[in-house]
Structures are given as structure tokens and as C-alpha cells.
Structure 1
Amino acid sequence: MHVGRSTPRALVRATVGVLVVAVCAGCSFFDRGDDTEGRSVFDVKVGECFRAPKDITVELTELAQVPCTDPHEQEAYALVDYEDTAATAKASGAASFPGVEALTAFAQGACAQEFEDYVGVDYRDSRLWFTYLLPSARGWEQDADRTTLCFVTTTGEQLTRSVAGTGW
């Protein structure tokens, strides 16, 4: 899955290679010697909390999950399926990857839309940011992944509780 991010005041397009994280079969990027538990990106549920990856790479398959009462930087708040071409692709039998730009535009809009329902305040008025993971081209082509994962994230101090309904 690819990673993107947005500020609360303005959407920022991530530069590929700067904010994107990598697939490494059989490896873990989260050996921090703490309570983190590796969680497949395909098993993430809304309300789960995570430590941010230490290294910035191209794709990732696993996140460092922690209880929301432990220090963390990210919390999953929405899982949204890409819809722009879903009906057309199903009708034609095509499953071609729409591209990072199309998925990024979709994720920025969908994650911004879902933010207020989860946090309790519009993201533009929040002190928090959002970020997202996009389906990878490989996962898309294998017809295994059409879901964007939206995460609330901080810019500084770690969170030690869920942000659901806080209005932060």
C-alpha cells in the first residue's frame, strides 16, 4: 500500500518516494523493542492505533499496532473503497490500476470527508492531520485490494488515547 498525507488546513500532495512506505516479504520494519504487534495492512480495523513507521519506503505490508492507551502517532478511522471506475471496471471485466494520481485524489477527498464523523470536528478545524494508505498496483492487479485506509495522525507529541469523538 502507498502512503499519503494531508495537513488540517490544506491538502498536500505527497512526493512519491518521500512519504511512501515498502513491501519487504518476511521482514518487519517495527523492531522497536516495545509493545508493538505487527498487523497486516489488509487486517486493519477502524479504531486501531499504530506507531508510525521509522523508515520511509515505497510500499508496506505490516503496521506496528499498539493499544490506543500506549503512545502512538496514528489511528485508523476509515476504510473506503475506490469507486470512481469500479462500476465501469466490473462491467467491462477490466481490473486495471487507475494510477497513483487518481487514487491519491480519491483518498484525499474520501479521508477528508470521513474525518469529521470519526473525530467530531472538520479536519480543517482540527489540530490533527490525516494520512492514508493506497492500494498498490500489484494488489490491485491481483484483484485483492481496492481499499484506502485513512489514519488520524499527529505532527508532534504522541497520542495516548483514541481520538474518536474528541473534537480535536
Structure 2
Amino acid sequence: MSLSGCSFIQGLTGGNDANRDEQGNVQEQDNIDIFSLKLGDCKMADDTTGEIMQAEVVPCDEPHDEEVFFESKMADGEYDEAAIEVAGEVCYGQSFTDFVGVAWDDSTLDVWYLSPTEQTWNEMDDRLIQCIVTDPAGPTTGTLKGSKK
């Protein structure tokens, strides 16, 4: 789907994270630095056409648009946008099937992913791909894990 990145300057500011419980679950709606987004976080939709610097997270038991369902780290080396797109394909494969319970091709859900920009790759050693699932039918409450949608 869409490649999105994170701002180097934002990352240098130390960012801000949500109020989380002992298990790392978001406790209340908050606008956080994108580098504070974690596996399992639920969030409101972003404009996925450019760099994303902030994310509005909410507890997963509240209505939300998106959920981070898988993370993958890329190997070191030179920044390669084509390699990042290939790495992003993991979001549509077995990781999706394992999370939702059906293959992406058979699902009504959609996927996109966050990935490093050339700047974050080179200046922050950013190698993280985060897979995000969304329901085009509208906001969901609770996790989409095992939903078989």
C-alpha cells in the first residue's frame, strides 16, 4: 500500500509516548511521536501519503481505525526503497494470516505499513517495518486478531 516515514528531527526531540499499563497497553487517547508506536497499539487513521511524525493512539477497547499487528526489522545495508517495498510485503503474507485468521486475498480488511525514510535509515539507524490493519467498513472496537474478516 503506502510507504510512510518518520521525521529525524521529531525523533531527536525524544518524542512522547502514551500512558501505558505494565503490559504496554495504551491507557488513554494520546498523540504520540511515531517512534513510540508499538506492536499491538490501536490508533486513529493517518494521511498515509507522506511522512508521518505523530500518531493518535487509543485503548484498543475504544473505537479506532487501525491496529499495529506485526513488526519486522530490515537488515543493515544501504537504503533501498525497492527493498523496503519488498519487506512491506510481509504485511500481506503469513503475518496477516496468522493475525486475522484468513489470508489477505480472502479478507475484507486492508493493510498498509510504516517504513524508514532514507533520512531515518541513515541518521537514526531506523530499520523497522510496522504492519497496520484497518477495516474499510469503518472503526472497530477491540482487536482484529482472529476476526477472520
TM-score range relative to shorter protein: 0.7 to 0.9
Moved over 3 A (4+): 19-26
Q: 1:46 corresponds to which letter in structure 2?
A: L
TM-score (structure 2 length as normaliser): 0.76
Which structure 1 residue ranges, 5 or more long, are not aligned?
6-13, 27-34, 90-95
Q: How far 1:136 moved relative to its partner? A: 1.1
3-state DSSP class of the match of 2:129? strand
**Cα distance per residue 1:86-134 (max 9 Å; x no partner):** 3xx3xxxxxx211x232112202x1112101111111111110111011
- Percent of matched pairs sharing the same residue: 27
CA distance in 2 between partners of 1:39 and 1:118 (Å) = 25
Q: How many residues are paired up?
A: 132
Contact 2:39/2:70 (8 A) holds in 1: yes
TM-score (structure 1 length as normaliser): 0.68
Structure 1 vs Structure 2 CA RMSD:
2.5
**Cα distance per residue 1:57-87 (max 9 Å; x no partner):** 521122110111222111000111124xx3x
Give the structure with higher Rg (CA).
1
CA distance in 2 between partners of 1:162 and 1:137 (Å) = 32
From 76, 96, 99, the equivalent of 1:115 is 96
Q: For residues 147 and 118 of structure 1, do their structure 2 counterparts lie closer, same or farther at Cα, with a shift above 3 Å needed?
A: same
3-state DSSP class of the match of 1:142? helix
| Structure-to-structure mapping, 1:86-165, within 5 angstroms | 86=76, 89=77, 96-98=78-80, 100-108=81-89, 110-113=90-93, 114-165=95-146
